[in-house]
Amino acid sequence: MSNVLRLAIVDPNDASRETIKSLLLGMDLVWLEAECSRYEFFGDIVEQTNPDVGVVCLDEDPEIGLELVERLHETSSCAVLVVSNSDDGSLILRTMRAGAKEILTVPITAEELIGALERISNARSGGGKGKSRGCVTIAVAGASGGVGSTSLAVNIGCALASDESNSVALVDLDLAVGDADVFLDAIPDYTLVDVSQNVARLDFTLLKKSMTKHSSGLYLLPRPVQLQDAPLIDPDDFARVVGLLKATFSHLIFDLSKSYGELDMVAMRESRQVLLITQLDLPCLRNVVRLMMSFDEEEGLKEKVKIVINRMGLDAEHIGLKKAQETINSDIFWRIPNDYRSMAEARNNGVPLTVQSPKAAITQAVVNLAAALNGDETAEQEAVGASEKKSGMSKWLPFMGGKS
Ligand SMILES: Nc1ncnc2c1ncn2[C@@H]1O[C@H](COP(=O)(O)OP(=O)(O)O)[C@@H](O)[C@H]1O
Ligand SMILES: [Mg+2]
């Protein structure tokens, strides 16, 4: 990951150093470069390892600790993050004057830590307002029921998780009838409800523990068990969970519901890329047009949308790709061929396409799509062929814009 923050920490107190370390080690986007138990050695360690952030825990000896903060501020380029159990205003003022960029009060919550590191990271990268440094966030939306959103979300997740340097999480937001757990043959202990309701108490390690890990490496946060539990997820709590997930995982995928409810909107807002899955049929393409018009009302959303045609070749004689593209007036980002057997068998066996049908064209298309979403500019769209030929769409085209 290019945006990982490299940290060095000093705290003469072993117990509190271990506490902070375990908090930091659970974050995927942080790399602990060095740790030190003596204030007097830390300057040299920083000079040798040149971290992005120097974490100084003041409590063992605030006077010597403050001198160190001042020295680091003057002699090194690292941002200093101070940790202290004191809420004494004058100490805080002195710490700021000594040059600390951030001060966290013990006990530190995961959210406070993320916030501080984000501010440091944003300041270092020239002040962008993005919520996360490096997490690749993808929301998978569908133009209609059954277009293949879950199939693609799960398989993109598994494809990304096959690279061991990635840590990938999938959140099932289809609260009523979500079935990502079926695709992954998982029986989860906890759901989105448990995690959202306890967000204030969660740290990165606990969050990861409450998720179910599939053999592909993909972590799943499933929908609630009971239909009645869905309203218990507060959108603000959910947004906080997303913040934690972003700091914990290198890749985060949302399988959205088809109701485009509040949680779906939070997920789309928090994602850098939104896949809109559609098939080449009239109801779906109409919905693409309608959805894009609605997305236009939400600042910055339409620009993030990438249209993916699923099940290419299913209905070859009806609507051609070119006509579809003209109609929806957007580029088509990717095409996935129709291969019911591979997809259904993969789902029924609870394994990804890469395991079920490694050589199939559909698998290659999904793997390449995952690579493209991950920023691989060499990832290519295979020729999908079949339904790119002439279409009879002009018959219904005049109705497209009218009633939406
Ligand atoms: N590319 C594809 N080729 C053939 N069948 C597919 C393809 N993608 C999805 N399917 C099938 O379509 C059905 C609906 O897929 P699903 O992912 O559950 O859709 P959604 O989540 O949008 O409701 C499933 O039976 C799945 O196996
Ligand atoms: Mg689904």
% of residues, the chain, pLDDT over 70: 91
- Spell out which residues line ligand 1, taking CB within 6 angstroms: 142, 145-151, 310-311, 336, 338-340, 343-344, 347, 362
Of 154, 343, 347, 368, best ligand 1 pocket probe by most atoms within 8 Å of the beta carbon: 343
pLDDT band at residue 392, thresholds of 50, 70 and 90? very low
Provide the residues around ligand 2 (an ion) whose CB is within 5 A. Answer: 150
pLDDT in tens, 90-118: 999 999 999 999 999 999 988 899 889 98
pLDDT at 124: 78
pLDDT in tens, 173-228: 999 999 999 999 999 999 999 999 998 888 888 898 999 999 999 999 999 999 99
pLDDT in tens, 285-338: 999 999 999 999 999 999 999 999 999 988 765 688 888 998 899 999 999 999
Q: How many residues does the chain have?
A: 404
pLDDT band at residue 28, thresholds of 50, 70 and 90? confident
Which of 73-82, 95-104, 312-321, 389-398 is predicted with the least confidence, judged by mean pLDDT?
389-398
Ligand nearest to the CA of 176: 2
Average pLDDT value over all residues in the chain: 89
Single pTM value for the model: 0.80
Ligand 2 centre distance from Cα of residue 336 (Å): 16
Ligand 1 centre distance from Cα of residue 358 (Å): 18
Atom 8 (ligand 1) nearest CA: 148
Label residues 207-240 b or e (16+ Cβ within 10 Å = b): bbebbbebebbbbbbbbbeeeebbeebeeebbbb
Please compute the mean of the pLDDT values over residues 12-17 and round it to a whole number.
95
% of residues, the chain, pLDDT over 90: 73
- Looking at the DSSP bridge assignments, the partners of residue 35 are 9
